[in-house]
Amino acid sequence: MEIEETRLPGVGLKHDLTTRSGQRVGVVSQRSGEREIVLYDRDDPDACRAVLHLTPQESEALAELLGAPRVIERLARLREQVEGIATEGIVVADGTPYVGRTLADAQIRTRTGSSVVAVARHGEVTPSPPPSFRFAAGDKVIVVGTDEGVRAVAALLMLG
Amino acid sequence: MHPAELLLELGAVIFGLGVLGRLAGRVGLSPIPLYLLAGLAFGSGGLLPLDAPEGFFEAGSQIGVVLLLLLLGLEYSAAELVGQLRQQAPVGALDLLLNGAPGAILALVLGWGPLAALAMFGVTAVSSSGIIAKVLTDLERLANRETPSVLSILVLEDLAMAVYLPVLTALLAASGPASALRSVVIALAVLAVVLVIALRYGRQVTAVVAADSNEILLLRVFGLALLVAGAAEQVHVSAAVGAFLLGIALSGEVAELARPLLEPLRDLFAAVFFVFFGLTTDPAQLPDAVLAALVLVVVGIATKVITGWVAARRAGVGPGGRIRAGAALIPRGEFSIVIAGLAGSSVDPRLAPTAAAYVLILAVLGPVAPRLADPLARRATARARARAAAA
């Protein structure tokens, strides 16, 4: 599969590819962040048959549906790529002291040297949660650090 | 004049422009011709002469030109401009020669003199990037294969303006051949220095205006644009070019942030500019100018279609796309008026009305032309396919 990139001076960029079934598709990325998905005409390969306008949010959502790697999957790959870095999803168990308290209260970075990069709750991911983020029971806290640091976070969040 | 009177007349004119702009949007036209008509109607000898806000309109129209060119410069990075120039120079040269020649020849034939010929060269050569970008977006043709060729031509025209405008203003300001030559040399030298600064030290220029708050960024960019424009005008390089080059020098995040801040200002003052041009054009001259303008319109459509055809063919686009590219390039607008405004009536009193009539017709016809040319383009595509199948 070959993706062809074309500059549209003053407008943005265009990427095209031909699918295995022979349909040519393209994405116009405007500078404003708007995206257009275009289907080229089979009879006139220079023209478009259909154009779909997407706002930045819509294109992000669509990209996700089309299988863009989610945060957790990306982290999993990161662990494979970088040796000496551990990534762990630690579940905040019910009844532990940090349920209902904020990320700032836990002082994870100062105490363990590891960083909380995301929190998953009911299948929704909050990337880089702010210090005011409040933990709830069942949250999956994604932590990046050394092996030791990550274990320390697990101890902290599970045992207090 | 009483301030109340000024405010009332100014408010009425600007509000009226808002109504006109909405009207133009409804029927899918560019508002530029309507602004020109409004200016013609309000000017001396028009339907409804207004004398009050002339001072405001004169200053406002200057600011309008500066902002038009500043935002045009912000659209491009220096690297983009140089890259386009390397790749597309032959098409750009063809575009300018083919489309500028009719205006220049007409001015010479009618005996307006060589300066008017140079001005008319620019008036007929430059397509309206504003109208064309909007038409391509509205017709959903941004992704079409001929579109990069069309956009490249617009970039090159904008770049050519940066060289053309200072030469024109230098010649307009000069008296006699020796002083003309000197002014042109000075203007081009200044242009070269500024271009080098824009290309080499864009980051430093950007650092001067960068700010955390939108308010301060707006004031800095706008203030600097007026300063640079004024300085450029002092050395006869034309304020517009100074602003254009500043726009190119500003890059990256600052350009991204400044563009949405400045756009509403540009829209306001550009409208003022078009009205002022209409105000200062004598409507009594229009009927005479229409005939010359019509000749230029017919020739101008043909030459732009040829330009588009050649440019698209160079990019390997089929016959249908070549016709679409040609039709897309037809609109003329803001820059033809900028040039005519610079030349003014100092070269020939017939120039401004002719340019006004020319832009009035082409700014209205231009956005319609791609739709009219569509059946032709489809037929050309079908014929090419049939021929390919037979071969």
Q: What is the mean pLDDT of residues B198-223?
A: 84
SS3 content of chain B, % helix, strand, coil (to 5): 85, 0, 15
Q: Are residues A10 and B142, on separate chains, in Cβ contact within 8 Å?
A: no
Cα(B11)–Cα(B1) distance, rounded to whole angstroms?
15
Say which of B129, B142, B321 has its CB closest to residue A36: B142
Cα B88 from chain centroid? 20
Q: In which region does residue A138 sit, left (phi positive, over 0), alpha (psi from -120 to 50) or beta (all else)?
A: left
Query: Pairing state of beta strands A140-145 and A115-121?
Result: antiparallel
Q: What is the pLDDT of residues B29-57, one digit of tens each?
A: 788 888 988 888 887 666 667 765 677 88
Q: What six digits make up the tokens of A3?
A: 């993706």
Residues of B in contact with A36 (CB under 8 A): 140, 142-143
Cβ separation A9–B321 shorter than 8 A:
no
pLDDT at B328 (0 to 100): 94
DSSP B72-104: HHHHS-HHHHHHHHHHHHHHHHHHHHHHHHHHH
* Lookup result for tokens 């990534």: A87
Beta carbons of B75 and A10 less than 8 Å apart: yes
Output Rg (C-alpha) for chain A, integer angstroms.
22
A8 CA to chain B: closest CA distance, Å?
A: 5
Give the per-residue pLDDT at A146.
82
Q: What is the pLDDT of residues A67-85, one digit of tens each?
A: 765 555 666 556 555 667 7
Residues 6+ apart with CB under 8 A from A37: A25, A26, A27, A51, A52, A54
Rounded Cα gap, residues B322 and B312, in angstroms: 5
Question: B21: pLDDT confidence band, cut at 50, 70 and 90?
Answer: confident
CA distance A24 to A40: 5
In this predicted model, what pLDDT tens digit does every residue of B356-366 receive, in sequence order? Answer: 999 999 988 98
CB A116 within 8 A of CB A130: no
For an interface test with A, which of B80, B88, B147 has the most A Cβ atoms less than 10 Å from its Cβ? B147
Q: Using the beta-carbon criterion (under 8 Å), do B141 and A47 form an inter-chain contact?
A: yes
Chain A residues whose beta carbon lies within 8 Å of the beta carbon of residue B76: 9-10
- Confidence band of B303 (pLDDT split at 50, 70, 90): very high
Residues of A in contact with B145 (CB under 8 A): 45-47
Nearest-Cα residue of chain A relative to residue B85: A9
A7 contacts on B by Cβ (under 8 Å): 80, 148
Q: How many CA atoms lie within 13 A of B37 on its CB side?
A: 14
Q: Are A130 and A103 in contact (CB under 8 A)?
A: yes
Asked if residue B258 lies in contact with residue B70, where contact means CB atoms within 8 angstroms, the answer is no
Average pLDDT estimate for B120-137: 91
Distance CA B241, CA B153 (A): 19
Query: The tokens of A40 are what?
Result: 């080229």
Name the band, by pLDDT with cuts 50, 70 and 90, for residue B119.
Answer: very high
Contact A140, A90 (CB under 8 A): yes
Q: How confident is the model at residue A36 (pLDDT cuts 50, 70, 90)?
A: very high
Give the closest residue to B338 by CA, choosing from B132, B72, B107, B14: B72
What are the CA-CA distances from residue B288 to residues B56, B159, B274, B285, B352 (Å)? 30, 33, 21, 6, 12
Work out the end-to-end distance of chain A between its first and last CA atoms, rounded to an integer number of angstroms. Answer: 51
Strands A12-18 and A115-121 come out as unpaired
Q: What is the pLDDT of residues B317-359, one digit of tens each?
A: 999 999 999 999 999 988 999 999 888 767 888 899 999 999 9
Buried b (16+ CB within 10 A) or exposed e, A35-67: bbbbebbeebebbbeebeebeeeebeeeeeeee
Asked if the Cβ–Cβ distance from B151 to A48 is below 8 Å, we say no
CA distance A44 to B381: 7
Split at pLDDT 50, 70, 90, the class of A40 is very high
Closest CA of chain A from B149, distance in Å: 9
Q: Are B69 and B51 in contact (CB under 8 A)?
A: no
For range B291-312, the mean pLDDT: 95
Average pLDDT value for chain B: 87
Residues sharing a CB contact under 8 Å with residue A69, sequence separation 6 or more, in sequence order:
A77
Residue of A17, A39, A46, A49 best to disrupt the B interface, most CBs of B under 10 A: A46
pLDDT given for residue B326 in this prediction? 95
Average pLDDT, chain A: 82
Amino acid at site A101: R
- Per CB-CB distance under 8 Å, the chain B contacts of A8 are 142, 147-148, 151
Above pLDDT 70, what percent of chain A? 89
**Chain B residues close to A26, C-beta within 8 Å:** 143
Chain A: closest CA distance from residue B273 (Å):
23
> What confidence tier does B24 reach under pLDDT thresholds 50, 70, 90?
confident
Give B87's contacts in chain A (Cβ within 8 Å): none
Q: Is the separation of the CB atoms in A78 and A104 below 8 Å?
A: no
- The size of the A-B interface in CB pairs under 8 A is 72
Q: Which residue from A7, A38, A48 is facing B148, i.e. has the nearest CB?
A: A7
Query: By CA distance, what is B316's nearest residue in A?
Result: A46
For residue B267, which phi and psi values (nearest 5 degrees)?
Answer: -60, -40
Q: What is the pLDDT of residues A99-153, one digit of tens each?
A: 888 888 888 888 888 888 888 887 778 888 888 888 888 888 888 888 888 888 8
Tell me what pLDDT residue A28 has: 93
Model pTM greater than 0.90?
no
Whether B252 shows a pLDDT value over 80: the answer reads no
For residue A68, the model assigns a pLDDT of 61
Range scoring the smallest mean pLDDT among A85-89, B14-18, B87-91, B168-172? A85-89
A9·B381 Cβ contact <8 A: no
Widest distance between CA atoms in chain A: 67
Which of B70, B79, B77 shows the shortest CA–CA distance to B244?
A: B70
pLDDT value, residue A87: 78
The mean pLDDT value for A4-16 works out to 86
Cβ <8 Å between B151 and A9: yes
Band the pLDDT of B8: cuts 50, 70, 90. Answer: confident
In this complex, the residue of B84, B144, B256 whose CB is nearest that of residue A9 is: B84
Q: Residue A89: is its pLDDT beyond 60? A: yes
